[in-house]
Amino acid sequence: MTGRVVEVVCGMTPHKFLAKRIFEPLGMTDTGFCLPDTGISRFPPPYFDGVGFGLLRSAVLDPAKAGISAQPGDFGWVGAAGTFFRVSPVADMIVILFTQLFPSSAIPVRKELRALVPAPLTGARDAKARAAAMPGPPSVRALAYP
């Protein structure tokens, strides 16, 4: 919405406004609204330690390298105060944890949560059979593993 206000009031697109009024006067020659094609080679890859990152989520690329109990393709996000969600298409499971713990590393809640539900996170067949026999939707069954 702010971008539209800039267009109407200043008669410039947001990227031109930022360049002309902020970046150029400050000598910020390597700063812009968009990444030009010439800058792609200097842009770091959006992943580390077996996990990739995109808009509002992360995705497991290599569980062993990441050191987590998960399946390749699992995705989710972790909030600063420990809020967590993980979707595992392979295990047909969704895990959501709401917490307000700051710093979130003070107590390893997410690590312990993964330890509580290792079978669905690793796709163990006997765990899926137990889950299928339990009432409720897949996400509830996944959280109810003994």
Q: Where are the domains of the chain?
A: 2-42, 50-143
More reliable by pLDDT, 116 or 107: 107
- Residue environment code for 48-83, b if the CB has 16+ CB neighbours within 10 A, otherwise e: eebbbeeeeebbbbebeebebbbbeebbbeeeeebb
Of the chain, the percentage scoring pLDDT greater than 90 comes to: 14
Q: What is the mean pLDDT of residues 43-55?
A: 78
The residues, any chain, with a CB within 8 Å of residue 111's CB and separated by 6 or more, are none
List, for residues 60-107, the tens digit of each pLDDT value.
999 888 887 788 999 998 888 888 888 888 878 888 888 888 887 777
| Residue 11: per-residue pLDDT | 93
Of residues 131 and 96, the one with the higher pLDDT is: 96
- Measured at the alpha carbon of residue 121, what is the angle toward residues 116 and 126, in degrees to the nearest 5? 90
